[in-house]
Each structure stands twice: as structure tokens, then as C-alpha cells.
Amino acid sequence: MKIIVLPENWVSRIAAGEVVERPASVVKELVENALDAGAREISVWVEGSGTSLIRVSDDGEGIASEDLPLALDRHSTSKLRDEADLFRIATLGFRGEALPSIASVSKLEIVSRTRQEEVGSRLRVEGGKKKEPVAAGCPAGTTVEVRELFFNTPARRKFLKSPSTELGHICDVVNRMALAYAKVHFRLHHGGRMLCDYVATPMPRDRLHQVLGAEIAAGLISFSLGKGKMRASGFLSSTPSSFSNARYLFTYVNGRFVRDRILTHAVLQGYETLLMKGRYPVVVLYFEIPFEEVDVNVHPAKYEVRFRRQAEVHDGVAEAVREALRKEAKGPSHIIPHGEPPFSGVQESPLPYVGGISQRRGLQWSESDYADPQAKSDEVTKGFFSSLDILGQLLGCYLVCSSSRGMALIDQHAAHERIAYEKMRHQLERGEIERQNLLVPQILELPVGEAALLEQRLGILEHLGFTIEEFGPNTIVVKSVPALLPAGDYREVMRQMVAEFAEIGQSGVLRREVEERLMTIACHSVIRASRKLEQQEIRALLNELDEIDFATQCPHGRPVLLEFTQEQLERMFKRA
Ligand code: ADP
Ligand code: MG
């Protein structure tokens, strides 16, 4: 593709700013160029923390000899043809800034040959000064070598972290790209060592194994949901495996790794009530949307995007995640506390992105591309809990059952809580929370500030089945409560809600607040003390669990069920 110099008036529309902040940014830009050139094999060599050497070599389409000097000029790119392209960017690069920026702070050499040429050419740039290009014998493709990065910008060099930290950033960059381009072979060498060798594969799940390791990858389920011209697909962890930070959240928009508030929020909302506070899931989200619906020209490093229809994107992604988890929670094939189930090797649909402009430009939104062969039909997984054989009750709060695969332990409190929560949520959706009127209304006195808080939230409480009236200064009277609450003193649950209102302050979103209050109610609906359950009561509980969604987690994200397979039991007893 011909390189052109962008006219001034286009340049002024491109997000300005520095792209080369650290060695990892160089790797990111060079690998992006290789992917844009349709490479099938990309090798990265790094010495030290990347300041001595970064070399990226690809087998992509190459740069024609006559164009090579142009590639090093500011704002010259082969990726935009007309001004309108700026609003439907289909490639990873488009600013024409990476190579000149890198060349201005290093000693750069680029060698390239297109498949049509017999001889390639080599060009050296030192601190931004171009030398004469010379003919070079080389394979088709491009190799860019960056030495002495930041040699002329001591301030930036000083700003760098330890070599191991910088190398860590470089690995992250390679891993992120590799997760989205399973059909491309990635290699990363550091010093004499090969750190990554991700052989190309048509199956995205194989790439998950290569990048995330067998243990994490085995716990991931695939998902895919299309809405209009948008599609959210990928892989996510069922709830028991979670991490204390968001480092395993990978979100891609049209094959580009992004850090986007909307997408992250949507993903986490999909997990709502399924993870404990402060825990994060493993999610690889490939979000696809027509190029003109998303603006990637927001930030020079292109990690940020802006969606034209933000709310639709958010809700679509949240729903995709929720649906996948709902399906999975019905057939808890993964509820395994330890051990690594073997890699299933399931045939899966190939990733829509395989690198290269042509594939990207030709993107069609066909249903079959995203068929999800892993999805379980409800038929097969229905009735997991009802099918259990009850063996007994342990310590007054755990149910011990035998499942078709081994032993199932159920936390009866957590199960009751989830059932109460889901029942109320359904009633709420239908707009009809069942109430019970109190024969004797209960009077509750509150501290001044809290009474005011409660007054502001009367609407929410009303919504949830409480009828509350002001009785006197700082005193309220409770006339009805949600029917799910067991008979007794309701003042405690009221107090707790007021305390939570105080904690959330004014920031809470209404929907979220209502859901959080549901949790409190669900929590209070459960008789806390250990209690002996009769056989029929246990059976009824198990049947109810099959009727609700997300039965495997209580509303605070704690597990309801732990299953030990025969194989695991044998391993624990050192029989296997
Ligand atoms: P951009 O990627 O935004 O176009 P760059 O400065 O990264 O800008 O690259 C400038 C141009 O050089 C690209 O548009 C492309 O034509 C060419 N180029 C750079 N790297 C490669 C590569 N690895 N293979 C083929 N062409 C390349
Ligand atoms: Mg580029």
C-alpha cells in the first residue's frame, strides 16, 4: 500500500501527543505495524530493559524501496486514503507518527522488502537524521531495529523503572496482542532466552492456554452475543476463580486492546452479585462494532476509544457476560476447588481478527462466524441440584450430597440467600414485590442525620416492599415489609439499610442501590442460626436452586456449592 503524507488539515484532527514513553511503547507500535502489514510471524528481541535493543521482525507485506524514506517522515501513512477514513479506522495505526517518533529518540534501522521486489532496502536514522537508503538482501517483510533508546533524552531515560519492570511491560504488550491474534505466531526473546513462543493456531482457546497458562485457561468458558451490528464474544471465568486486581481483564475493540471505562464497567456489572467485593474475574472480551461507530482517534497511544452509542455498547456487553454466567451457573461443570481439568480441545470458531488490513476491512457480521460450539443447551444441564442424592447435614449449615461426579457440599445459608434474592429480583422486575402488612406497626427512632437519609430514600424502600411513614421527629413507623422477611423485629434490617445509605452517600445509581438493598433483605430473610433441616426441606431447597439463576453463588459472591470429583478425591487420598 502506497505511503502518503497526510495533508495539514487532516493532521490537525489527529490526537496529538507523545507515543514513545517507555520501551514497551516501542514494542507496541512496531508489533502493531507488523499486524497491520498482515504478518503471520512476528519476532521480538529485547536486550536489557529494551534501551539497548528492541528488534521486531515480521513476514508482512513489506515497504517498497521508493517508499521507505517516507515511512520515517512525520504524518506519513499508508493506512488512510481520504479524510473520511479518519472516522472509520480499520487498522491499528493511522497517525503516521510511530516510526519518526521512535527514530527521533534512538538509533533506528529499518530493513524491508515487498514480495514483488527482488532486492529490499535498508535505512538508518540517528536521532531523527535520515541516512541514504541502501539496497539490502533480505527476506520479504520488515525488520525494525531500535538501539540506544532515549540516548538523547536523558530525562526520559531516568524516568524508566527497573529492567525487570520494563521487561514486564513488554511481555504484557506482547501477550495482549497475542490474545487477539491467535493465527499469528509470536515470539519474544530476551537476552539469549525465548520468553514467549506462541505458535499460530486457528483455535482461540489454544492461544489462551499459551498466554494465560493451562490452569487459568481451563476455567474459562466461551461466550458470544450479537445485537444489531455489535457483537461481544470471548472467554470468561466462571465465578470461583477470581483475582484481587483487574490484571486479567482484557478488552478489545475491533482487535485493538483498549482500556475503556464503559467496557470494564459493563463486564463487571455482568458479574454483579457473583463475585465477592474487591475480586476480579478473568475476561477476554472481543467487542466488535462497525468502524464508524467507534472513535479511536482519542489518545495518541490509542488505548482509549469513544463509542457513538455508549449506552447500547455498555448494556450489550453486560448482557453478554450475564447470559454466559447464567448458562454456566445452571450446569456447574466447573465448580472445582482445586486441580486442573484437562484441556478439552473443543473445536471453536476462529477469531474474527487474524491480522492484516484486508481481513479487517472485509469484516462482515455473519452469525455463523461466532457460533459458539461450547455453549451448553439448557436441556443437558437442567436439574443439577435436584439430581443430587442427599447424604446428610453437617455442622448444622452444610448439606452433603453425592453428585454424578463425586461429592457436592452446599452452604445452606448461602443457598437460601440466593433464592430469596432471586425471588425478590423477579418480583421487582414484574413490579410487584409481595408485602406483608404488620398487624402491629413497628416504631423506630433514628439519629438525626440518618432519619434525613432515610427520608430521601423512601421511594426506594417503597419500591422494595416497605411502607414507612414519618411518626414524629426522627421517628418512623414501619407498616409493611417484604413478604420474604421472616416474622420478627424489622428494626434491625431498617437500621442496616440506613447505615448502607449513609455509606453510599449520594453517588449510588438507583438500580444499583435497589439491588444492594435486595441483598440486605435476602440476607435477613435467612435464619442465621444453624438449624437441622428435614429431608423434605433439603429436597425443596435443592429444587428451588434449580429454578433460579446464579444458584452457585450467594448474592455477596460467596460460593453456594463446592464439588469434589471422584478424581480429586482420589488424588487427595493419594490413590491417583
Ligand atoms: P502508521 O502505522 O500510523 O501508519 P507508522 O509510523 O507506524 O505509522 O508507520 C508508517 C508507515 O510505514 C505505515 O503506514 C506503513 O505503511 C509503513 N510500515 C511501518 N511498519 C511496517 C511494517 N512492519 N510492515 C509494512 N509496512 C510498515
Ligand atoms: Mg504504526
Nearest in space to 147 (alpha carbons), one of 133, 162, 127: 127
**Ligand 1 pocket residue status of 525, Cβ below 6 Å:** no
pLDDT at 52: 95
pLDDT at 186: 98
**Ligand 1 pocket residue status of 98, Cβ below 6 Å:** yes
381 dihedral zone (left: phi>0; alpha: psi -120 to 50; beta)? alpha
Strands 185-190 and 41-47, by their bridges, are: parallel
Tens of pLDDT, residues 341-360: 322 233 333 333 333 333 33
Please give the grid coordinates belonging to residue 320.
453478554
**Centroid of ligand 2 to alpha carbon of 211 (angstroms):** 24
The cell 445485537 sits on which residue?
227
**Which atom of ligand 1 is found nearest the CA of 96?**
8
Listing DSSP states for 302-365 in one string gives ----EETTHHHHHHHHHHHHHHHHHHHHHS-TT--SSS-PPP-----PPPS--SSHHHHHT---
**Which atom of ligand 1 is found nearest the CA of 97?**
6
**Ligand 1 pocket residue status of 25, Cβ below 6 Å:** no
Identify the residue whose C-alpha is closest to ligand 1 atom 16.
78
pLDDT at 508: 46
**Ligand 1 pocket residue status of 78, Cβ below 6 Å:** yes
pLDDT at 45: 98
pLDDT at 240: 63
Contact partners, residue 161, CB within 8 Å, separation at least 6: none
pLDDT at 529: 65
Ligand 1 pocket test, candidate residues 11, 78, 113, 145, most atoms within 8 A of CB: 78
Nearest listed ligand to the Cα of residue 35: 1
**Ligand 1 pocket residue status of 97, Cβ below 6 Å:** yes
**Which atom of ligand 1 is found nearest the CA of 77?**
14
Question: Mutual orientation of helices 510-524 and 491-504 as an angle, nearest 10°?
Answer: 150
H-type alpha helices, 181-218: 204-212, 214-218
**Ligand 1 pocket residue status of 485, Cβ below 6 Å:** no
Tens of pLDDT, residues 502-527: 765 544 456 666 777 888 888 888 86
**Ligand 1 pocket residue status of 94, Cβ below 6 Å:** yes
**Ligand 1 pocket residue status of 334, Cβ below 6 Å:** no
- CB distance 127 to 104 below 8 Å: yes
Spatial distance between the Cα atoms of 140 and 59, rounded to a whole number of angstroms: 6
pLDDT at 355: 35
- CB distance 123 to 109 below 8 Å: yes
Nearest listed ligand to the Cα of residue 31: 1
- CB distance 438 to 480 below 8 Å: yes
3-state secondary structure of 289: coil
- CB distance 287 to 231 below 8 Å: yes
Show the beta-strand stretches assigned E in 344-423: 389-394, 398-402, 406-411
pLDDT at 327: 85
Please give the grid coordinates belonging to residue 292.
464508524
The cell 461443570 sits on which residue?
333
Ligand 1 pocket test, candidate residues 77, 108, 297, most atoms within 8 A of CB: 77
Spatial distance between the Cα atoms of 370 and 442, rounded to a whole number of angstroms: 56
3-state secondary structure of 86: helix
- CB distance 559 to 410 below 8 Å: no
**Ligand 1 pocket residue status of 61, Cβ below 6 Å:** yes
**Ligand 1 pocket residue status of 95, Cβ below 6 Å:** yes
Q: Give the residue ranges of the chain where pLDDT is below 50.
A: 333-381, 506-508
**Which atom of ligand 1 is found nearest the CA of 94?**
3
**What's the DSSP call for residue 568?**
H
Beta bridge partner(s), residue 120? 136
**Ligand 1 pocket residue status of 71, Cβ below 6 Å:** yes
**Centroid of ligand 1 to alpha carbon of 165 (angstroms):** 28
pLDDT at 445: 87
**Which atom of ligand 1 is found nearest the CA of 91?**
2
Ligand 1 pocket test, candidate residues 20, 27, 33, 102, most atoms within 8 A of CB: 33
**Ligand 1 pocket residue status of 37, Cβ below 6 Å:** yes
